[in-house]
């Protein structure tokens, strides 16, 4: 544009950062109900907006994970992201359920690589966040009721179990890719292009 070269990587990272900073940290259920009371939305519309917001958050987490696995985000940056989401430095604040789901989504895709293929900053971040998740899972309100739903508690425990086992889990291993595997796939794709083959993205 105007003869200037566009830095795609920088533009992508800036857009990703903006999307991350715009994630609501408040209870989206309460926010939607408050909005519905003002514009008279029916339950179906509220549920549609809730799912739309949640899908947007999960898609962003997948993008952030892919950026890290392709070395476009450093272990230090990705570590600070999950620590920020988990409120590791704000023990008196508990992240909302959709934020915890974001953490679980990220750890599912990058946990192994961040802990075992990154520098000390990655291992430290995984250790702190998993410790924080363990504390959050056990927390209860003043009435003695768990602060998170059973579904989310199971999700947290599942990640903790997988991390304890060295991220060994059949379903997880199929979804996660190491940086070396990604590099090999890119090399195969390039060779296929040079031979004029059609790339399917599958083995």
Is residue 90 pLDDT above 80, yes or no? yes
| Largest interatomic CA distance in the chain | 66
State pLDDT tens for residues 9-44.
Answer: 888 888 888 888 888 777 777 676 666 666 677 778
Rg (alpha carbons) of the chain, rounded to whole number: 20
At residue 183, the 3 state secondary structure works out as: helix
For residues 9 and 72, the answer to whether their CB atoms sit within 8 Å is: yes
| Mean pLDDT of the 60-85 span | 93
> pTM value?
0.74
| Mean pLDDT of the 169-194 span | 63
State pLDDT tens for residues 99-141.
Answer: 999 999 999 999 999 998 887 889 999 999 999 999 999 999 8
| Mean pLDDT of the 170-198 span | 62
pLDDT reported for residue 5: 63
CA distance 182 to 175: 12
For residues 57 and 101, the answer to whether their CB atoms sit within 8 Å is: yes
CA distance 201 to 189: 8
Is residue 1 pLDDT above 50, yes or no? no
pLDDT reported for residue 35: 66
Enumerate helices (H) and strands (E) in the chain, giving the number of each: 9, 0
């Amino acid at each position: 544009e105007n003869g200037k070269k566009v830095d795609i990587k920088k533009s992508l990272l800036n857009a990703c950062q903006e999307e991350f900073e715009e994630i609501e940290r408040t209870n989206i259920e309460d926010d939607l109900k408050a909005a519905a009371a003002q514009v008279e939305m029916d339950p179906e519309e509220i549920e549609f907006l809730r799912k739309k917001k949640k899908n947007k958050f999960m898609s962003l987490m997948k993008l952030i994970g892919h950026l890290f696995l392709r070395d476009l985000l450093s272990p230090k940056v990705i570590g600070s992201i999950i620590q920020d989401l988990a409120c590791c430095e704000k023990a008196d604040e508990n992240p909302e359920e959709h934020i915890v789901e974001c953490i679980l989504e990220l750890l599912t895709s990058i946990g192994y690589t961040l802990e075992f293929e990154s520098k000390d900053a990655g291992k430290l971040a995984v250790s702190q966040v998993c410790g924080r998740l363990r504390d959050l899972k056990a927390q209860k309100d003043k009435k003695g009721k768990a602060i998170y739903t059973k579904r989310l508690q199971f999700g947290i425990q599942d990640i903790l179990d997988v991390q304890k086992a060295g991220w060994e889990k059949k379903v997880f291993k199929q979804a996660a890719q190491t940086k070396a595997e990604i590099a090999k796939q890119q090399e195969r794709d390039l060779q296929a292009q040079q031979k004029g083959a059609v790339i399917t993205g599958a083995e």
